[in-house]
Chain A
Amino acid sequence: MKTTPIYGLMAEFDSATDLVGAARKTHEAGYKKIDAYSPFPIEDLAEAIQCSNYVPLVTLIGALIGGISGYLMQYWMMAIDYPINVGGRPYNSWPAFIVITFEMTILFGGIFAVLGMLALNGLPMPYHPVFNVPRFAMATKDRFFLIVFSTDPKYSPTGTRQFLESLGPRSISEVPS
């Protein structure tokens, strides 16, 4: 008989408060490779499971690239490559270049923020093992889920199940990978 490897153990909760409490306890119990799923953003949850966030850095880099390249583009085109004398004004007439520099800063910052968020989240990812749990469809409606990945050093099929049961979930399911 072929056995499917297990991706993790998933516990289902009824409310945001229960999930945050459970996530805190799981983290305190020494499980590090965990994740939580909720139908809307919960600030305390991200704190409870601790995650990195490089989105601001990526956005800043994008904005700087946009702003600097926006100005240099105009400088090179108007002052070096194609200089036109407009009423004796200097070729590098910087006040006239501010608007496009600003727009390019916003454009690149915005695109980097969105694409950076998607890339850091590993999206798009049409298939993911958690979707194998039928009840997980409720995660985008009104249910809250906590998962302990089987790659966690502390993970054991029975021990982790017992621990999750002690948190008082509505149900526990195995996630096949």
Chain B
Amino acid sequence: MAERMDDVEVTDRRAPVIEPGYTFGTVTDKISAIVLNRPTSTGWFIGFGVFFLLTMMMLYAIGYLVLKGTGIWGINIPVGWGFAIVNFVWWIGIGHAGTLISAILLLLRQTWRNSINRFAEAMTLFAVAAAGIFPLIHTGRPWLAYWLFPYPNTMNYWPQFRSPLLWDVFAVSTYFTISLLFWFVGLIPDLATLRDRSENRWAQMIYGMLAMGWRGSARHWHRYETMYLLLAGLATPLVLSVHTVVSFDFAIAIVPGWHTTIFPPYFVAGAIYSGFAMVLMLAIPIRKLYGLEDFITERHLQNSAKVMLATGWIVAYGYGIEAFMGWYSGNRYDSFLLWNRLHGPYAFFYYLLLTCNIGTPQLLWIRKLRTSSVGLFLVSLVILVGMWLERFVIVVMSLHRDFLNSSWGMYYPTRWDWMTYIGTIGMFLTAMFLFVRILPMISIFEMRTLLPEAEVKSE
């Protein structure tokens, strides 16, 4: 068997992670030129302008909210959570792909991650920042949000550590901090490259200060690599814990449809599902507009599509178990929840959710679609809509009809809800526009390690 293996030429039919023919110099030039030499296009200004206006709209909506209170939203009793929590969970979920790509795929030695980890991490940061806005303003008095942290105060009280809402504060703020550190230390060697390659005095000084005097010493690299692996090892359980804790916000409560043990794994899978959809929605236009098809190849698109297909099935399993338990538990409130999803006033959204999240991704079985930019972009968009609907179904459909029919109600979002939600999308994309303009969107030093010349030949 072993002898025969030598005769057989093993061919890898998959697209390469990086197109052949590149050297250390050309990889460096190509990625750093986007930041340093390429003139800012009109399209960039238009896109940035539009999304910046949306950000201003969000600030306007939040300003009015601070003035008037949460009564301007559609929330009421029984539906106290509404859009704010739907959007919070949606954004946090999207933020999961960055750390998954940078930490978990690093530990699994998936080298294809090297060309998409940088902007996926940036995406994570901006998504978590967008997510953080919602619980903050949902408190009604955001200027008192620091009460959530345990600090010695004249009221002589401490926050309630047995509450999952407080766990969430710690989980999300830890996640943001660690993601920021991971992203920034990953940037240091590339900032040094930009420092050495820019000709503008200001750029040299700013990149130089951010690079902190990095000079690529072997001793430094040695500690750096150790630190990077350790941080990945710490971030791996962290990323899985964050959405688990978010799901505890629901699962610890006794509301029908929330009080289930399937929630943590099903939330984490859904997070990765929507996160990869967002990665693709950003990667596809970026590789096209900046001519990066050689670095973000068909292989990356295919692999991301496969991750979505797999996590999509985990999510489908979650929906299946929810429905099954509604019937099998024999609990009248749980079975009513199932009935209400299928026939209640919001049933349309439940069917739409099933179409978006279970139906559409099945198209990814088709190889031709997995390699088509336009097709993947559209499927990703549908998945993102579907994942938003999933959170709507969980939050609103569970709350609006619970145990007593005297306390039933309906929830309709107002224009302020929509303005805030669309505004955070604007803020997220504004930040992405700035990011691709001023920082290397692909990790240059990690791309160098993928080149054949990086291999040290033994004498």
- Answer whether A and B are interacting partners: yes
A165 on the interface (CB 8 Å rule)? no
- Which of the residues A43, A117, A126 comes within 8 Å of B185, measured between beta carbons? A117
B10 an interface residue at 8 Å Cβ cutoff?
Answer: no
In the assembled complex, which residues on chain A have CB atoms less than 8 Å from the CB atom of B222?
A: 41, 46, 51, 53
| CB closest chain-A residue, reference B450 | A40
Q: Are A141 and B24 closer than 8 Å at their CB atoms?
A: yes
* A78 in contact with B161 (CB, 8 Å): yes
User: Hey, which chain B residues are within 8 Å of A21, CB to CB?
Assistant: 459
A39 touching B214 by the CB < 8 A rule? no
Closest 7 CB pairs of A and B: A124-B212, A142-B24, A46-B222, A117-B227, A125-B213, A77-B158, A41-B221
Within 8 A of B (CB), among A98-150: 99-100, 102-104, 106-107, 109-111, 113-114, 116-118, 120-121, 123-128, 130-131, 136-142
User: Which residues 160-192 of B sit at the A interface, judged by CB distance below 8 A?
Assistant: 160-162, 164, 166-167, 170-171, 174, 177-178, 181-182, 185, 189, 192
How many residues belonging to B are interface residues under a CB distance threshold of 8 Å? Answer: 65
Q: Return A67 CB to nearest CB of chain B, in Å.
A: 12
Q: B212 touching A140 by the CB < 8 A rule? A: no
- Whether A99 touches B454, Cβ cut-off 8 Å, given contacts A39-B448, A139-B216, A141-B24, is no
Instruction: Mark A33-71 against chain B: 1 for CB-CB distance below 8 A, else 0.
Output: 001111111111110110101011001000100000000
Does chain A have a CB within 8 A of B245? yes
Is B332 part of the binding interface, using a Cβ–Cβ cutoff of 8 Å?
no
Is A1 at the interface (CB under 8 A from chain B)?
Answer: no
Is A29 positioned at the interface, with any CB of B under 8 Å from its CB?
no
8 Å CB contact of A38 from B195, B208, B218, B455? B218
Q: Find out whether the CB atom of B177 lies under 8 angstroms from the CB atom of A111.
A: yes
Quick one: closest A residue to B166, CB to CB? A100
Q: Total number of A-B contacts with CB less than 8 angstroms?
A: 202
Q: Does B23 lie within 8 Å of A59, measured CB to CB?
A: no
Q: Are A55 and B223 in contact (CB under 8 A)?
A: yes
CA distance A141 to B161 in the complex (A): 50
Give complex CA distance A17, B164 in Å.
54
Q: Is B235 an interface residue (CB 8 A)?
A: yes
Q: Which of B130-159 contact A (CB under 8 A)?
A: 150, 156-158
Contact between A126 and B459, CB atoms less than 8 A apart: no
Which of A17, A46, A107 is B218 in contact with, Cβ under 8 Å? A46
Task: Say yes or no: is A7 at the interface (Cβ < 8 Å to chain B).
Answer: no
* Size of A's binding interface in residues, CB under 8 A: 70
A interface residues with partner B (beta carbon < 8 Å): 15-17, 20-21, 23, 35-46, 48-49, 51, 53, 55-56, 59, 63, 73-74, 77-78, 81-82, 84, 86, 89, 93, 96-97, 99-100, 102-104, 106-107, 109-111, 113-114, 116-118, 120-121, 123-128, 130-131, 136-142
Whether B192 and A140, one on each chain, are in contact in the complex, defined by CB atoms closer than 8 angstroms, is yes
Query: Is B25 an interface position by the 8 A CB rule?
Result: yes
Q: Are A41 and B28 in contact (CB under 8 A)?
A: no
Bound Cα distance from A157 to B192, whole angstroms: 30
A137 touches B196 (CB 8 A): yes
* B419 contacts partner chain A, Cβ-Cβ < 8 Å: no
Residues from chain A with a CB closer than 8 A to the CB of B224 are: 41, 117, 121
Name the residue on B nearest A36 (C-beta).
B218
Whole-angstrom CA separation of A42 from B182 in the bound complex? 20
Contact B162 A78 (CB under 8 A): yes
Decide if A141 touches B218 in the complex (CB within 8 Å).
Answer: no
Q: In this assembly, does B453 line the interface, its C-beta being within 8 Å of a C-beta of chain A?
A: yes
Chain A residues with CB below 8 A from B23, complex form: 142
Given the known inter-chain contacts A42-B456, A77-B150, please indicate yes or no for A110 contacting B181, CB distance below 8 A: yes
Q: Does B378 contact A (CB under 8 A)?
A: no
Once the chains are docked, how many angstroms separate the CA of A89 from the CA of B161? 13
B342 contacts chain A at the CB level, 8 A cutoff: no
Q: Known contacts A131-B215, A141-B25; decide if A56 and B166 are in contact (CB<8 Å).
A: no
Minimal Cβ-Cβ distance residue in B for A141:
B28
Give the complex CA separation of A86 and B271 in angstroms: 33
Chain B neighbourhood of A84, CB < 8 A: 160
B367 within 8 Å of A (CB atoms): no
* Shortest distance from the beta carbon of A134 to any chain B beta carbon, whole Å: 11
Question: What is the bound-complex CA distance between A55 and B226, given in angstroms?
Answer: 7
B306 at the interface (CB under 8 A from A): no
- Given A74-B161, A110-B177, residue A53 in contact with residue B223 (CB < 8 A): yes
Minimum Cβ distance to chain B for residue A105 (Å): 8
Is the Cβ of B221 less than 8 Å from the Cβ of A45? yes
14 A-B contacts (beta carbon < 8 Å)? A15-B453, A16-B453, A35-B219, A42-B221, A45-B221, A51-B218, A59-B230, A78-B162, A82-B158, A99-B245, A103-B170, A106-B238, A117-B226, A142-B28
A107 to B177, CA, bound (A): 8
Neighbouring B residues of A36 by C-beta, 8 Å = 217-218
* Bound: A93/B162 CA distance, A: 8
Q: Do A41 and B225 touch across chains, with their CB atoms under 8 A apart?
A: yes
Q: From residue B182, how far is it (CB to closest CB) to chain A in Å?
A: 8
